[in-house]
Structures are given as C-alpha cells and as structure tokens.
C-alpha cells in the first residue's frame, strides 16, 4: 500500500507539474489550452501502453477477463488514475464540465480504484482505457484546429469523420463485445460487471450526442460544436 501511495503521488505530481510547466512556457495561452496539451499527452501514453498490454504482453481481454493484475497493468492504471484526479480537480476549479462528464470522471476513478484494490480485472480496465483514449488525439486536434482558425478546412472535416467513426466503432461495437465477454465470464466480480454496464450506458449517451452533431453537420447546419451542451467532448475535452 505504501508503494502504491508513493507511485500515485509521483504520477499525480507528474501531471500537475507538466500542466504548470506548460502554463509557464505558453504564458499567452489559456489554461484550457495547456490542460488540453496535458490531456493529449495522457491520451497518447495511455493508448501506447494499453495497446502493448493488450496485443503483446497479454492476456487477451476478450478471452481472459477477471485475471490477476500484472505489474504493467497496475502501472498503466495508476498513471491514468492520477490523470483523472488531476483533470477532475481542474474541471471543478474552472467549472468547465457538466454533471455527466463529472460523473464519467468519478466512475472512472472509482472503477480504477476498485480494480487496483481487488487486484484483478486490470486487463479489462486497460482495454477500456485503450478504447476510450484512442479517439482522444482526434478530439484534441479538432479543438486546436478550431482555436487556430483551421477547423473549417478539409482537415477539420477529415478529423471530424475519423473521430465520429472511431468513437462509435470503439464505444458501441468493440465496447459492446467487451461487455458481453465480461458478463458471460464467471471470473470477474459482480461489482466489476456492474461498472462495465454503467460505463457502456454512459458511452451511449456520448454516442447519441455525437450522432446528433454529425447529422447537423452533414445537413449543412454549421452550428459551432463548441457551443453544444454535450457530455462528450464536442464541447469538452474529455472522453
């Protein structure tokens, strides 16, 4: 437990320090600009680490849910846990997020803590992180394009198409398959299964909002997506 606390403190210090360094380097930029850079760094790190865990280190999450956590899985979960704590504190301080996104962050934090406390189901946790963070770079790219006046170009359209497609694919289809494997397996604990159901339902809330945005966009109604009161990242930066 002491080792876990030290590791968590170091990770939390890393995310906070990165943010403050970026604020000093990019003094002319807004706090959200710098926080989004931190979010982008986390997204890239999380995807790379969890992809290695799922595809190389193993075990395969669809076939072996509920297995004992490995050291690498624990490291990946702690890294993301501390990021979510930092990001939620930032969101509360600057009041940038609505109740749905704050609930998503809370569930993510509690889910990772439960997985670490139980010492199992880390492979599913890493799979969920991979599926949720893989669209993060696109999400940040579209925001930075908007801020720099390049969102209305062909590049903005490409980013939007890739983001919507990948988000729906990962959250609905891959996420649904993961949840099915979780529910039919006798190994995962009941609370882990319940958490999976709640997160999947929340993903549908995000997906429906994104679909509504896509329909408006493709019908030529160019409402600023950053003015959309949404739970997913069309207005916010998190997933």
pLDDT of residue 74: 95
Neighbouring-strand partners of residue 120: 68
pLDDT tens for 4-52 read 788 889 999 999 999 999 999 998 899 999 999 999 999 999 999 999 9
pLDDT of residue 98: 79
pLDDT band at 235 (very low <50, low <70, confident <90, very high): very low
pLDDT of residue 7: 85
Q: What is the Cα–Cα distance from 200 to 62, expressed in whole angstroms?
A: 16
Which DSSP category does 120 fall into? B
Chain-centroid distance of CA 213 in Å reads: 20
Q: Does 230 score more than 60 pLDDT?
A: no
Phi and psi dihedrals of 68, rounded to 5? Answer: -65, 140
pLDDT tens for 115-148 read 999 999 999 999 999 999 999 999 999 999 999 9
Q: What is the Cα–Cα distance from 168 to 204, expressed in whole angstroms?
A: 9
Are residues 129 and 76 in contact, defined by beta-carbon separation less than 8 angstroms? yes
């Amino acid at each position: 437990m002491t080792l876990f606390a030290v590791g968590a403190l170091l990770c939390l210090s890393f995310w906070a320090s990165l943010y403050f360094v970026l604020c000093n380097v990019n003094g002319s930029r807004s706090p959200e600009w710098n926080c989004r850079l931190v979010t982008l760094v986390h997204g890239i790190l999380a995807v790379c680490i969890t992809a290695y865990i799922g595809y190389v280190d193993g075990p395969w999450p669809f076939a072996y849910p509920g297995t004992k956590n490995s050291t690498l899985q624990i490291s990946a979960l702690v890294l993301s846990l501390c990021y979510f704590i930092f990001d939620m504190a930032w969101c509360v301080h600057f009041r940038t997020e609505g109740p749905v996104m704050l609930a998503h962050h809370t569930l993510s934090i509690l889910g990772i803590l439960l997985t670490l406390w139980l010492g199992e189901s880390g492979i599913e946790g890493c799979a969920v992180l991979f599926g949720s963070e893989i669209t993060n770079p696109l999400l940040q790219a579209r925001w930075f394009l908007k801020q720099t006046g390049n969102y209305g170009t062909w590049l903005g359209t490409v980013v939007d198409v890739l983001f919507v497609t990948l988000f729906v694919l990962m959250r609905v289809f891959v996420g649904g398959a993961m949840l099915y494997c979780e529910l039919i397996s006798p190994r995962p604990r009941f609370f882990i299964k319940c958490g999976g159901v709640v997160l999947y339902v929340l993903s549908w809330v995000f997906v429906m909002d994104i679909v509504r945005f896509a329909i408006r966009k493709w019908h030529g109604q160019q409402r600023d997506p950053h003015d959309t009161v949404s739970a997913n990242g069309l207005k916010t930066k998190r997933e």
